[in-house]
Structures are given as structure tokens and as C-alpha cells.
Chain A
Amino acid sequence: MAEYKKPKTEAEFENNFKQKNPLMNDTEAYYEASRCLFCYDAPCIQACPTSIDIPLFIKQIHTDNITGASKTIFESNWLGNACGIVCPTGVLCEGACVYNHQDVPPIKIGRLQNYATNKTIDAGKVIFKVGESNGKKIAIIGAGPAGIACACEARTLGYEVDLFEAKEKPSGLTVYGIAPYKITNEEVLKEVEYLQNQLDFNIKYKATINSKAALKSLEDDYDAIFIGVGLGKTRNLELEGEEKENVIGAVEFVEELRMKHHKLAVPKKVVILGGGNTAMDAASEAARMGAKKTVLAYRNSKEKMGAYRFEYDLAISAGVDSLFNVTPIAITGNGKVEGVKFAKTEMVDGKLKTNMNNTFIVRCDMVIKATGQAKQGHLYGLIDDLEIDTKKRIKTNDEFQTSNPMYFAGGDAINGGAEVVNAAYDGKMAAQGIHNWLNK
């Protein structure tokens, strides 16, 4: 059932995409901070991919040392503001909070984090300094979370840093790929601007690095190169009829939505293929854009979905219907999509089998493929001696160095697709890796 009306204005769009984690006010933050037990060897810190000293920043909020709290956060995670909002805290820090064992709601760590950093960013408090120049330069390919984190850390270590970004805005998927009810463009961009104002790194936009010559000139001009290119376009499913109009990749769909908001046309019936978090996002978004019917189709059972349970619940509450144990075998229609032909699947001896004798068609006007992104294979092929694993991820060592010693990498390019917080960690640690390598 459709829960949302098609948004016709920006205000209606904002209403349909109301922030899931709204900013806390002072009173709520004070009360919430007072609940923290200040656990020893706190489970929340262990659960945070960037090991933020969470009890410390919460105590700092409670004692009204907001700037100190932000320092604690940013020192571990350069994208602390964005992560406070978009992190799947329920499975990370908040999921680890000891209150869960008492059947008491866990501390709202993410929102407290966002409360502190947001205040500090809005006040323009300068808390970081560029390190003393060491005369060396680092090129960063991709200004996503990994690249920005790498840039910030490298600047504090005294490196000159240039980022080369293919798109027009920084932050990668945080601005182009995350559901708009999780974070607004403004919130993302102001954090990068805040960091850039203090750490003074240079981002070149619309500067795609996709040729041997471009790489050669980076290699000549810089002492080390960090690859933070994330993933590429949505992978082709090699389905019959996949080229039809209105068959779109989830990443591309979300990007258009993030940029066009209510001006994006979403037709009446939408089918989303996939069972991961991106599929849930795309389904939720299609529903919030006023699609009359939104159907999520996953080839395996509900239990086998890769998506977090809360993401699935969120999609369902937006009015999304779901189909399990179905696999698409063709996309039908005359030039434009008119439906998806599915076959039922079943588990046979632990393997998922498609039953071609049991097929049916779901009529729709749009198909969103949330079945994974391709890797940036073209770029990798241009770099000498760059080792890639069987899943086409760049291989790195503990210092985030690739098999070509001049190149370091982090984020989705090495993990195949994870959270913003993982990319932020990789980028930071890669800068330290570069520093260690150049000072050997």
C-alpha cells in the first residue's frame, strides 16, 4: 500500500524524506548523556570501526565541553558528523551498549555524536592544525569518505594533498548514494567544508583519472597516491530486456534522487531487485516518491537477505511489498519496461535452484537493480603491478599499501562495499601507512 503521496514541491519532498535521526536539542543531549555509565573498556568503543572514545565524548557533552567532545570524535573519525547520522549504530556502537542486556534502550550514541560535531561545525570552531610541512605531496583519487579522511590525516602530518574527484561534489556516496531520509546534502557538505577550512586540502572536481598518462603524471608529481574510488556503476545482470527504458541501477537511481529531489519522476509501479541495504534504500525511496506500488524481489529467503533487519522494516513501513525466493529471468515490454518475469527458487541440498517451470510476471513501469556495483576495473588495469583479488577488490597490506608500493587504497575499493565509517577508518590509517612508508 502506498503510504506516501508523490512530492510535488521541495517541502513535500522533505516531509516524505523526514530525517530518521534528527538533531538533538540541548536538553535531550544533556539527559541522554547523563545516562551513559562510562563503562570500562567500553563495548561501544570496541564496536566502532574507528574506535571513537565514546564514553569520553559523552561525558564531555555532559560537562558542556562540546568542542572537546568533537575533538575526541574527529581525532578518531574525520567524518564523525556524517557517521553519527548514517552509521548503522544499531548493529555497531548502540548495538553493543550494555543497557541492551538490561532491556533498557541503549544510549543514542549516533545522535549524541552528531549533536556535538554539528554544534562545533556550525560554530566554526577551529580544532585542528595543519602539520608542519614536510615538503612531500600525496595525490588522492576520489574525494569520498576514504579520500577525505586520508586527506585530513595527511594534512595533520604535514603533507600537501590534492584530491581528484570525478563528480562535482565531495563525499562520494555520502552525498550521492545514501538515502535522503538518513542525511541531507547540506549536512554532508558542511562537514567537508569545515574540515577543508581548517586543513586546507585541495579538491579538483570533474577531474576523472582514467588514463595511463594521467596516472603517470600523478606518479611524477606526487610521493604517494591513495586510491579511494569506491565502486562503479551497477553491474549488468545479463537479463533479457535489461536494456529497456526505465531499467536503472540503484546507485544511479539514488544519485538522481539526491540531486533532483522532487523533480525526479518515479512512475506508478516499481520493482526493486536485490536483498541488500541498497535495495532497501531504493525501495523505501521509490515508495516515498509516491510510487503506488513498490515491490522488493529477492532471490532467496527473507532470513538470507544481506540487509539489516531495521532497514527492511523501514522499507516495509514505507509501504513496500516484498517477494522472496524469486529470481528475474527477463524484463518484458516494448521499448519501455512493462514487467519483470520471475521464476521461483528453492533450496535443494543447500543450493539455491531456479525452477523454470514456475514463472510469473509482475507488471511495473520501472525496474531498479540493486544487485551490486561493478568494480573500477578499468582504472586498476592501468596501474602497474596492482594486485586484485578474486572479487576484483584491490589487495592491500596492514598499512593499506597495495602491491605497487607507491599506491595505497581504502574504502569500498578494497572491501567491496561497506559503510562510510569503514571508509573513514581506511583513509585515516592509509595516510598513516603512507607516512610510515615515506619515513622508512
Chain B
Amino acid sequence: MIDLSVNFGGIKAPNPFWLASAPPTNSGYQIMKAFEAGWGGAVWKTLGVPVVNVSSRYGSVNYRNSKMMGFSNIELITDRTLADNLREMEEVKKYFPDHAVIASLMVESRAEWEQIIKDVENAGADGIELNFGCPHGMCERGMGSAVGQEPEVLKTIVGWVKEAANIPVITKLTPNISDIIPPGLAALQGGTDSISLINTIKSIVGIDLDTYAPYPIVDGKGTNGGYCGPAVKPIAMNMLKDLAQHPEIGRIPLSGIGGIETWRDVVEFILLGATSVQVCTAVMHYGFGIVREMEAGLRQFMEERNYNTIYDFAGKALPNVTEWKHLNLEHKVVAEINADKCVGCELCYISCDDGAHQAISLSDDPLNRIPSIIEENCVGCNLCSLVCPVEDCITMVKKDDGTEHSSWNERTLNNDIPTTFNDDRAGGKGHFVPKPSDALKI
């Protein structure tokens, strides 16, 4: 029997699908609608002293025919009064006592933190999320990512909050740093019950070629926005991995955020150690209904592998994510083209010849557009298989027998690494490269 319920650092929810603190959680109406649709939790749009927002708030990156592959916003925290938000929060909890309602908070002084924590606790919030991530507007006022970028300040505020709060505390981190560990450790040392990440990334999504202003344009000007959507998922997953693998931080629950749209994204985040996921952009694009696809897919995945809860596979990918120096240098794959499937686009040829290792050749017969792999030149980089538009046409075939293992680390210990500029142990030594002048013969 599959049980999707989670206990995330003391916050219980019927499933790990939560809405991130963002426009979709601006009101009780939206959150109730989301719970009806199947979401298990929601982080309320950040509460604090209400702001005044600009008109024209979102911008997007479209790629080919995909709309909103990347998404950027310059909206601030809630612009509604605290009283309105609290009244609605109370009502939501009345209808959905078993769903997780988490209040995202962002205020300045210790007194404000203490007051607003008391207020949201009285309204029935199941947890608090500290917004130390917002990278536009609020950070100019010393809040949001300004806090997330200063581990000491972050630790102090988490400490204040933990002292005042009777409900679990999630600390939400900003990715606008060079290393996620210091803020992660600071949150842990401040006493946080759990961490969520990532918040949005500082970005400019485009420039209007008529006005030379960045999107979204506010009366001829723009500012950096917070970038999110499918495009940021790889960055989020890497930071999640960093925290999950950390011996201390990895012990507290982690909520994954960043470009999650489908069940596959959800499973990938869980495999990297997340035990709840938060979604915003996909909901802003398609509405709350997308949770059906996520849940159906997650259940199917779990059913096929006999997992009963998400904890049965949470973090299972972590042992396989290692440092470069531990990768096996003896492993060898080579591309293979299935001539029956090839459609003759020759993208593999040109990508390899211009962009990689000149390991694909064309036929002399102009009617034969099927390229062939020059096996001795192929370094197994995958590029051709990535550009090939046909499913399973170019596959990477394992050539080593799996018996040998030597990593950079091991070779370093054995004094078997190139150390001088013209070292014979250079990996590319002897690898075929055409003569420079051959380029002029084509």
C-alpha cells in the first residue's frame, strides 16, 4: 500500500507536493483550490509589512516552441495586510486541518519577528519558512537574499525565530552565493528544523530591442529579477545534493525547489535527498491541475519498484554523486549509429567535427547521408547522441570490461598523473587530430 504522507521536520502533510511561497499562494482562495486539486501543503506568500508592487512583474525565456522555460519575477512579498492573510489562513486550516499550511515570513527587527510568529501560530500555521532568498527589491532593504548571503546574520535571525516559535521552522536559502554550505551550516547552527532551497536566481531574462530596457519593463526601466522555472532545475539539484551530502546538514529534512513540473522532476529531487518538493512556475503556467500528473507518476514509479513511502528511496542517488577525482578513468564508451534509424540530418557529424573530437566521418557517396563513427577517435563524450533527433539511433556502447578502475585520485597517489606541460601521460596524447590546414580543404 503506497502512503505518500510526509512528516517534514515536524510538519505533517498528506503528500510531499507543496506550493512554494509565491503568487499561487497569495490568498486563502488559491490555497484551498490547490488543496482541493491534490496538493498536500502550501507555503503562504511571504508575510511581513505589506509592500507596494510595480505593474509589469514577470518576464520569461522561451526556447523554440517552449514557453516559459525560464521565468523571472520582480514581485515583492505580500502586498496584503497581515490581518487579511491571517484571517484567511485560519479559514484554510479549518477546512483542511491535515494539510500543511506554512507561513513564509520576512521582517526586520527581532520584535517584529516575535510578533509575527505569534500571529501566524495563532492563525493555525503548521510551520514557518524564513524567506532569506528573495533576490530583488527586498534585499535592497536588508532582507531576503541579503540575509541569506550573510551566514552570521542568518544564524542570528534563525536563533531569534527558534526562541520565539512553538512550531517547526524551515529556513529557505538563496542560490545567489558561491557555496551553499556556509548558509546551510549557519541555519543548522541557528537551530532550524529543516531547510528549503533554492529561492530564485538573480537574472535578466532579456532586453527589449526597441527600448533597450530589460524585461519586465516598468515605465522604460527594469531591474534584475528572480529566475526560476525548468531552466533552474539543474542548479537547484546541485545545491540540494551539496546539503544532503553534508554530514551535519544532511541529517535535517530538505525541501527541494526549482523548476519542478513533472513526476520525473519530483522523483529526481527525492533521489537527491528532498522529502518534500515545492512548486511555483509550473502552477503559474498550467494551474493547480498539474499535481495530478505528478502524483500519478510518482505512484506509478513507486508501485513498479515496490516502494511504500518516499522515504524508501529518498537520497538513493546520493552515493552515486561523487567528486570528479573519484570517477573511473578506465571506463570507456563509444558512440554507435543505428543506420536503420538514421534520418541523415548529419548533426552528429558537424557537432563532433566542429564542437568535439572529429570522430565522425561522412560517406564519399553523396546519396548516402548516414555518418559513421571513427571508433579510435571517439572519446565517448555523448555529444552526438545528445544532438541526434531520433530516439535510440545513436547509443553509447560500453567498451571496457569493467574490471579495471583507476581514478585521478588513485593515480595521484601512484604518482601517475601528468605533471609537466609536455608530459607523456597527457590524456590526449596520440589522439588523432586533423592538421590545421585540413580545415581549408573542406
Contact = CB atoms under 8 A, between A and B. Distances in A.
A413 B35 CA distance: 42
Contacts of B390: 27
Interface in A57-92: 59-60, 62-65, 67-68, 71-72
Contact of B262 (A27, A30, A59): A59
A219 interface: no
A56 interface: yes
Contact of B300 (A30, A62, A68): A68
B87 interface: no
A38 interface: yes
Interface residues of B, number: 21
B263 interface: yes
A136 interface: no
Interface in A18-71: 25-27, 30, 34-35, 38, 40, 53, 56, 59-60, 62-65, 67-68, 71
B265 to A, nearest CB: 9
Contact of B296 (A27, A35, A71): A71
B65 A35 contact: yes
B389 interface: yes
Contacts of B263: 63, 65, 68
B245 to A, nearest CB: 27
Contacts of B296: 56, 60, 65, 68, 71-72
Nearest to A58: B293
Interface string B59-74: 0000001100000000
Contacts of A27: 389-391
Interface stretch (B210-218, B269-277, B284-292, B325-333): B284-292
Contacts of B290: 38, 59
B63 to A, nearest CB: 12
Interface in B287-341: 287, 289-290, 292-293, 296-297, 299-301, 304
Contacts of A64: 264
Contacts of B293: 56, 59-60, 63, 65
Interface in B242-264: 262-264
B292 A40 contact: no
A79 B60 CA distance: 41
B297 A63 contact: yes
A56 B294 CA distance: 10
B297 A60 contact: yes
Nearest to B66: A34
Contacts of A65: 263, 293, 296-297, 300-301
A69 B342 CA distance: 28
Contacts of A68: 263, 296-297, 299-300
Contacts of A40: 286-287, 289
A56 B295 CA distance: 11
A64 B292 CA distance: 15
Contact of B264 (A30, A53, A63): A63
Contacts of B264: 63-64
Contacts of A26: 391-392
A59 B66 CA distance: 14
A59 B290 CA distance: 9
A27 B338 CA distance: 15
B297 A56 contact: no
A127 to B, nearest CB: 9
Most buried by B among A64, A65, A72: A65
Nearest to A66: B300
Contacts of A62: 262
A38 B286 contact: yes
Contacts of B389: 27
B389 to A, nearest CB: 7
Nearest to A64: B264
A211 to B, nearest CB: 47
A35 B299 CA distance: 25
A72 B292 CA distance: 10
Nearest to B282: A38
A68 B66 CA distance: 24
Nearest to A26: B391
B391 A67 contact: no
A322 to B, nearest CB: 40
A36 B36 CA distance: 24
Contacts of B65: 34-35
B300 A67 contact: yes
A41 B14 CA distance: 26
Nearest to A35: B65
A34 B289 CA distance: 17
Contacts of B287: 40
A29 B390 CA distance: 12
Contact of B391 (A25, A53, A63): A25
B33 to A, nearest CB: 12
A30 B392 CA distance: 13
Contact of A56 (B292, B299, B300, B392): B292
Interface string A338-375: 00000000000000000000000000000000000000
Interface string A312-326: 000000000000000
Contacts of B289: 38, 40, 56
Nearest to A40: B287
Contacts of A35: 65
B304 to A, nearest CB: 8
Interface in B385-411: 389-392
B297 A30 contact: no
A72 B289 CA distance: 14
Most buried by B among A38, A59, A67: A59
A229 to B, nearest CB: 36
Nearest to B285: A38
A63 B301 CA distance: 12
A247 to B, nearest CB: 50
A65 B300 CA distance: 8
Nearest to B301: A65
A222 B286 CA distance: 48
A25 B290 CA distance: 26
A38 B296 CA distance: 16
Contacts of A67: 300, 304
Nearest to B289: A40
Contacts of A60: 293, 296-297
Contacts of B392: 26
Interface of A: 25-27, 30, 34-35, 38, 40, 53, 56, 59-60, 62-65, 67-68, 71-72
Given A38-B286, A56-B296, A65-B296, 15 more contacts: A34-B65, A38-B289, A40-B286, A53-B292, A60-B297, A62-B262, A63-B263, A63-B264, A65-B263, A65-B301, A67-B300, A67-B304, A68-B263, A68-B299, A68-B300
7 contacts: A56-B289, A56-B293, A56-B296, A60-B293, A63-B293, A64-B264, A65-B263
Closest 8 A/B residue pairs (Cβ): A63-B262, A26-B391, A65-B297, A68-B300, A27-B391, A59-B293, A68-B296, A38-B286
